[in-house]
Structure 1
Amino acid sequence: MEAENIEGNAASKGQTASRSAGPVRRLYNWMLSWAETPYGTPALFLISFAESSFFPLPPDLLQIALSVSKPRRSFFYAAVSAVGSVLGGIVGWLIGFAAWAALGSFFYSYVPGVTPERIDYVGKLYEANAFWAILAAAFTPIPYKVFTISAGIFSQYVSLETLILASALGRSARFFLVATCLWWFGPTVRTILERHFEWITLALFALLIGGFFAIKLLAH
């Protein structure tokens, strides 16, 4: 009887903690819960697709959870994430190109990270170099959705072909980087990726840019 009371109290505390968690934490738990179901792969595709225009959390989290449970499918999950994300980016471009006048206020009010100031700032980046701006957003933790939508708004600087090419390169590099880490290092790397992935991607992108500048200097 005493053991049952202890278990009941623990369950009650767990439910209370779940209810008291913030909306982002609940969304995080909901997303990861798909890794424990037979529908993890479709969920990964849909979340990768949605994150490119409105979903607030990165699909890497679910990709990591799925890959830890099935390491041999790590690169398959990376491909699912990449394809879903690029297709979602196309939808983001179409939203900006064809429906921003009608949907802009909704995105400003309800989609985290999308603000008028950021949209205007990205427009200036596109005017300078659209391809590199999208590539950076696709690979690093910069809000990718802001860039896909802005690409459609500023379509005079960003063709759909440019968006697809830069997104395919950046998103594939990002998700396959996760897969490679999990393939080589196994579940032990999960904590490192979840805690420090933003800094890792920023550092790698900085090295990439530095490499191109070094090549340019050597050429002269």
Structure 2
Amino acid sequence: MKIFSPLYQRAMQWARHRRAPWFLGGLSFAESSFFPIPPDVMLAPMSLANPRRALWFALITTLASVAGGLLGYVIGSYAFEMIEPWLRASRYWSSYSTAVEWFHEWGFWAVFVAGFSPIPYKVFTIAAGALSMALIPFTLASLVGRGLRFFMVAGLMAWGGQRMEVMLQRYIDRLGWATVIAVVAGIVLYRA
């Protein structure tokens, strides 16, 4: 059953849209402070569709992500009491608690590692503000950590280029179903 092929085709069309860099910047900004979808879902296909501009896309993603991270920092600094009840009731509370532990243990390095951790970056930005982390180290750690992640994603996609796009197009349905099976198996094993 070919469900993933049409989705892949649509994603590649959107990746080539003339306004895609603006959407990428908006998504990157929003994800760093309040939105649940990571920018990699746009950055990867955009870099794959246009390898010559991959580093430009990574730069847009990094700068917009850090700007959104600064908004998350402000939310943590000035509005944490307002969002704390929601945060406690959400699935993000355990991630927030982990981020706070990491800040107490590693300080500056917690933000740097956040760029690669499975814990959403927005949790770290809000925690940094709530814990009153110094703004300049927070910004520098965000630039380096997020930048490394996004330039790595863009670079790998650009390196794969047209060959990878063709190969993905050929095997996308198999990869998609394998991912679904792996997720279902993971959930079953987790609950067992």
Question: Do the two structures share a fold, i.e. TM-score over 0.5?
Answer: yes
Structure 2: give runs of 5+ residues left out of the alignment.
176-192
Q: Within 2, Cα distance between the matches of 1:51 and 1:32?
A: 21
1:159 to 121, 134, 139: 134
1:20-64 Cα offsets, whole Å, 9 max, x none, are: xxxxxx9xx998774253210110001000111121121011011
Classify 1:82/1:106 alpha carbon distance in 2 versus 1 (closer, same or farther; 3 Å).
same
Where do 1:178-217 residues align within 5 Å? Answer: 178-189=153-164
Q: CA deviation at 1:120?
A: 2.7
Q: Which has the larger radius of gyration?
A: 1
**Partner amino acid, structure 2, of 1:178:** V
Q: How many residues align?
A: 165
Q: Structure 1 residues 180 and 129, CA, compared in 2 at 3 Å: closer, same or farther?
A: same
RMSD of the TM alignment (CA)? Answer: 3.0
Determine what percentage of the aligned residue pairs are the same residue.
Answer: 36
Aligned to 2:187: none
Q: 2:49·2:161 contact (CA, 8 Å) conserved in 1?
A: no
The offset of 1:189, in angstroms, is 4.2
Residue 149 (str. 1) matches residue 110 (str. 2): no
| Secondary structure of 1:54's aligned partner | coil
Deviations 1:144-189 (A, max 9, x none): 111111111111xx21112101110011101111122122221444
Partner of 1:47: 27
1:122 corresponds to which of 79, 99, 104: 99
State how far apart, in whole Å, the 1-side matches of 2:153 and 2:121 are.
17
The within-5 A match list for 1:15-164 is 34-109=14-89, 113-115=91-93, 117-155=94-132, 158-164=133-139
> Take 1:106 and 1:30, find their aligned partners in 2: how far apart are those partners?
35
Instruction: Give 1:71 shift.
Output: 1.1
In structure 1, stretches of 5+ residues that fail to align are: 1-13, 18-25, 196-220
> Quick one: distance in 1 between partners of 2:11 and 2:110?
28
Contact 1:136 1:142 in 2 (8 A): no
CA offset digits 1:93-132 (Å, max 9, x no partner): 110010111223344556xx521x3323322221121111
Map Cα deviations across residues 163-217 of structure 1 (whole Å, 9 max, x no partner): 10111001110111112212222144465xx98xxxxxxxxxxxxxxxxxxxxxx
Contact 2:39 2:61 (8 Å CA) reproduced: yes
Looking at structure 1, the residues matched to 63 and 26 of structure 2 have their Cα atoms a distance apart, in angstroms, of: 10
Greater relative contact order structure (CA < 8 Å, 6+ sep): 2
Paired letter, 1:151: A
Say if 1:34 and 1:43, in contact at 8 Å, map to a contact too.
Answer: no
Partners of 1:109 and 1:30 in 2: CA distance: 35
Alpha-carbon separation, structure 2, partners of 1:149 and 1:189:
37
Does the Cα contact within 8 Å between 1:32 and 1:62 map onto a contact in 2? Answer: no
8 Å CA contact retained: 1:52, 1:92:
yes
